[in-house]
Structure 1
Amino acid sequence: MLEIQNLTKRFGGLSAVHDISISFEKNKINAIIGPNGAGKTTFFNLISGAIPPTSGKIVFDGKDVTGLRADQVAQLGVSRTFQATTLFERASVLDNLIVGHRLRTKSGLMDVLLNTRRLKEEERICRVKAQEALDFVGLSHVSHRIAADISQEERKRVAFALALATEPKMLLLDEPAGGVNPEETVGIAELIQKLVKHGMTVCLIEHKMDMIMNLADKIMVLNYGEKIAEGTPAQIRSNPIVIEAYLGSENAAA
């Protein structure tokens, strides 16, 4: 699904990501871990087209997407969430989702001015798709609530729904369980598994090691912008380089 070849991003003399090569399989859960400042979010920004690489190649679903803009990458089927979910706070949860689905519509300014049949049909489809996304993430009961009034855990689920509204093939999840309690973390993990069961590929950044070790099929570990290990949770847990750089002996033994 995703093939990364010798990917590098330099900001001046600093290499935030340096010569990373890795592949992520379709319909799998792939995790990226590492200390703060290891280059994880920069790596996501490169994949999603938010920033261009200095060098290297990104191939998504057989297509070279290196250097494409974020909207072009999204059109091809890559969607992402962020550590903080930014919503239109005074709009309803459903209306936030309708905006997200606009990526897949074709109506332009003339359609709006003339109130065309195409515009009306696309508005109807947007509403249906938005409601389907909320149903999928378990938020049908808050669809008409103002976004400012929902909980942190519900905001995290709205972020999933927003990503689903763009009809992606791959989801990039940046700390999807950040700021939620242990019970809610279990629910988020179950939602990620549900995504994969419905045909999506997931790549996530997360600091909650219990969640990652029980969830991921494959883990890549970054440190100072470089890949220091990749493998299954069992392989990562027992890797001495990873233990020294990030996990520590207590987590490794868990």
Structure 2
Amino acid sequence: MLKIETLNKRFGGLAAVRDVSTTIEEGKINAIIGPNGAGKTTFFNLIAGAMAPTSGKIIFKGQDVTGLPADQMARLGVARTFQSTSLFDRATVLDNLIVGHRLRTRSGLADVLLGSRRLKDEERKCREKAQEALDFVGLSHVANRIAADISQEERKRVAFALALSTDPQLLLLDEPAGGVNPEETVGLAELIRKIVRSGLTVCLIEHKMNMIMNLADKIMVLSYGEKIAEGTPAEIRSNPVVIEAYLGSEHAAA
């Protein structure tokens, strides 16, 4: 689905991402791990169009999308969540999600002023999409609650739903289980599996190694901006370079 060719991102003299080549495989759970400062979030920002690479190529479904801005990447089908979930806290959960599908609408100021049929049809469609996304992530019961009043785990699920409401093909999840307890982590992992079973592709960054090793089909390891390993969870667990750089002996394969 996504092919990365010798991707580089420099900030002055700092190489945040250095000569990374990889693929994100369609219909699978792909993971990126590595120590803090390894370049993981920068890598996501490059894919999602939040920043342009210094050099290299990003190919999405056969199309060269290198340097396209975030709005164009989202329209092509790349959605992402962030480490910190930012919502319109004074709006309801459902109203937060209605914003997501606006990406797919065409009505403009003239439609608003005239109260056009297209505007009304698109508003109905946005509301339906928002409700579908809430149902999918198991949050129908909080649809009309103010976003500021929901739990951290529910905010994570709302972030998933907001991304899903954009009709993505590839979902980038940045630390989806950050700040939630072990039981909630298990529930979020199952939601990620459900997303892939529905036909989407997932790539996630996560520091919870038990979750990643039980969830991912493929793992790429970054360290100081470079790819140091790639493979299945079993291969990563037993890789001496990864053990030394990140995992530690407690995560080595038995």
- After TM superposition, is the score higher than 0.5? yes
1:253 deviation in Å? 4.1
Q: Deviations over 1:98-131 (max 9, x none)?
A: 0111111000011111110000000000000000
Matching residue's letter, 2:168: P
Q: Deviations over 1:61-108 (max 9, x none)?
A: 111110100000000000000001100000000000001111110000
Matches within 5 A, 1:33-182: 33-182=33-182
Matching residue's letter, 2:235: Q
1:150 deviation in Å? 0.1
Does the 8 Å CA contact 2:5/2:57 hold for their aligned counterparts?
Answer: yes
Matching residue's letter, 2:149: D
Q: Determine whether 1:221 maps to 2:211.
A: no
Alpha-carbon separation, structure 1, partners of 2:250 and 2:170: 33
Alpha-carbon separation, structure 1, partners of 2:252 and 2:177: 21
1:241 alignment partner in structure 2: 241
Alpha-carbon separation, structure 2, partners of 1:152 and 1:61: 34
1:251 deviation in Å? 1.6
1:209 alignment partner in structure 2: 209
1:51 deviation in Å? 0.2
1:189 alignment partner in structure 2: 189
Q: Deviations over 1:42-68 (max 9, x none)?
A: 000000000000000000111111010
TM-score, normalised with respect to structure 2 = 0.99
In structure 1, runs of 5+ residues without a counterpart are none
What is the DSSP-based 3-state SS (H/G/I as helix, E as strand, rest coil) of the residue aligned with 1:158?
helix
Q: Determine whether 1:232 maps to 2:236.
A: no
What is the DSSP-based 3-state SS (H/G/I as helix, E as strand, rest coil) of the residue aligned with 2:252?
helix
Q: Deviations over 1:109-158 (max 9, x none)?
A: 11111110000000000000000000000000000000000000000000
TM-score, normalised with respect to structure 1 = 0.99
1:195 deviation in Å? 0.4
What is the DSSP-based 3-state SS (H/G/I as helix, E as strand, rest coil) of the residue aligned with 2:20?
strand
1:198 alignment partner in structure 2: 198
**Displaced runs of 4 or more, over 4 A:** none
Cα RMSD after superposing both structures: 0.6
What is the DSSP-based 3-state SS (H/G/I as helix, E as strand, rest coil) of the residue aligned with 1:87?
coil
Alpha-carbon separation, structure 2, partners of 1:128 and 1:74: 20
What is the DSSP-based 3-state SS (H/G/I as helix, E as strand, rest coil) of the residue aligned with 1:57?
strand
1:3 alignment partner in structure 2: 3
What is the DSSP-based 3-state SS (H/G/I as helix, E as strand, rest coil) of the residue aligned with 2:30?
strand
1:14 deviation in Å? 0.6
Matching residue's letter, 1:37: G
Alpha-carbon separation, structure 1, partners of 2:179 and 2:167: 26
Alpha-carbon separation, structure 1, partners of 2:131 and 2:212: 29
Q: Deviations over 1:12-64 (max 9, x none)?
A: 01100000000111000000000000000000000000000000000011111
What is the DSSP-based 3-state SS (H/G/I as helix, E as strand, rest coil) of the residue aligned with 1:195?
helix
